[in-house]
Structure 1
Amino acid sequence: MPGSRKAKAAETEAALKAAARRVFDRIGYLNTKITDITAEAGRAAGSFYNHFASKEELLESLLADMLAAGDRIVETDSTHDPDFTNREAIRWHIAQYWRFFRANQSVVIALQQAALVDQRFADRLSTLLEPDLRDLADHIRQAGVAEPAAVALAVSSMWHRFAYALLVDRNPLVEGITDDEAIELLTDLTHRGLSGK
């Protein structure tokens, strides 16, 4: 039956993605082999290639899922405000990013690892993330900031690096800082940087 085959294929793809997240979390993206993913998913090794051409393509698919989930939040959350002259609007975006990073930490790390060792993947990753960066630049443009695209890149880099230092590296300089404190700190830095106050 075509419907049941399609459902089985979707189930296998979801199992491979979930397994990849677990394996990336355990041993890291660079150490993960496709057979590690299929074994974790309880699937035959060859089943991987029915869904993904490579480990990089699987990683791109995980990113696409994450970005789509983020878009759904923006579309459905009535408290979303793109006005970056408003401190609370900035805080909302930082809080969403922080939750996104925390919920998808193994994939975020995997994306960074893949980009470090493969320039083609790094270029592809930049392309995939560009729409979100443009959205951030549009929010920043509304605050009357010159060079909004460059500022968006700088701001998003700051958010990402601080989240990485706190949540992944567990840098002793930020030991003991809670999620709320981190979000407030980034909100203050971003708001003051954009407003000049």
Structure 2
Amino acid sequence: MPSMPSAEPAPSDTSAPRRTPRGTRTRDALVAGARRIFERDGYLDSRIVDIAAEAGVATGSFYTHFASKDDVFAAVLADLQDEMLHAGVSDSSRTELRLGVEEANRAYLESYRRNAALMAAMEQAAAVDRRFLQLRLQRSQAFIDRSAAAITRLQEAGLADPELDPAVTARALSAMVSRLAYVTFAADQPLPFETLVETLTRLWMNALRMPQA
């Protein structure tokens, strides 16, 4: 889907000056303020004037650092990227297999729960703007690649079904976990957290035919 035009176009001159310590502080305040506004209002209803007010700066100062609402949202998502990329499945020993899967699922779900409002805003943005759809897919692909590599190692060690395609399996399992996280935390369809972790871990183990002990 092509990108939609911004509802709040920036002035024509959006070139950014060399960053000063004060400029860095202002930009950081804008990113932090934007995050709070996106979490509160969602992507579609957030406004630059509200972001600037939340950051404690004039609206004109916003355009010194960002060309549009889309640009500041991309900066907010960049800060989120590392946190959402959790560790892959451990494959160091049979006894640690289940714990590794459980810890990976738990870390992802805890991070998603902390950032649920922002993840919901990202889903909104991805639905209307290809730029954010691509960012979402890139974030997902990083996890898929890591999981596929772990599945390959497990297969080579005789600890996972050798007939499975690692890349396709990783994509399927990633989609299962991420969609359930969205429905549970962002779409407000709550489930007991420990039940969620236990169920996803068991599904991972069963799908790969990994030893349970």
With structure 1 as the length reference, what TM-score do the two structures score? Answer: 0.80
Q: Distance in 1 between matches of 2:149 and 2:25?
A: 38
For structure 1, the residue ranges without an aligned partner over 5 or more in a row are 75-79
1:102 to 93, 113, 116: 113
The aligned length equals 183
With structure 2 as the length reference, what TM-score do the two structures score? Answer: 0.75
Aligned to 1:27: 41
Q: Distance in 2 between matches of 1:148 and 1:164?
A: 24
For residues 151-195 of structure 1, what are the alpha-carbon distances to aligned partners after superposition, in whole Å with 9 as ceiling and x for unaligned? 222111111111122212223xxx5x3222211111111111112
1:48-197 → structure 2 map (5 Å cutoff)? 48-69=62-83, 82-83=90-91, 86-144=97-155, 146-171=164-189, 175=190, 177-195=191-209
Is the CA contact 2:30–2:62 (under 8 Å) kept in the aligned structure 1? Answer: yes
Q: Distance in 2 between matches of 1:40 and 1:15?
A: 9
Residue 44 of structure 2 aligns to a residue whose secondary structure is: coil
Is the CA contact 1:140–1:148 (under 8 Å) kept in the aligned structure 2? Answer: yes
After TM superposition, the structure 1 stretch with the greater mean CA deviation from structure 2, 100-109 or 81-90, is 81-90
For structure 2, the residue ranges without an aligned partner over 5 or more in a row are 1-18, 156-160
Q: Distance in 1 between matches of 2:193 and 2:99?
A: 16
For residues 39-58 of structure 1, what are the alpha-carbon distances to aligned partners after superposition, in whole Å with 9 as ceiling and x for unaligned? 11111112222322332222
CA offset at residue 106 of structure 1? Answer: 2.1
Q: Distance in 2 between matches of 1:50 and 1:125?
A: 27
Aligned to 2:15: none
Identity over aligned pairs, percent: 34
Change (3 A) 1:23 1:112: same
Q: Distance in 1 between matches of 2:208 and 2:89?
A: 16
Q: Distance in 1 between matches of 2:198 and 2:53?
A: 42
Change (3 A) 1:120 1:42: same
Q: Runs in 1 of length 4+ with deviation above 6 angstroms? A: none
Is the CA contact 2:34–2:76 (under 8 Å) kept in the aligned structure 1? Answer: no
- Report the AA paired with residue 199 of structure 2: L
CA offset at residue 70 of structure 1? Answer: 5.0
Q: Distance in 1 between matches of 2:171 and 2:69?
A: 27
Change (3 A) 1:124 1:166: closer
Change (3 A) 1:83 1:97: same
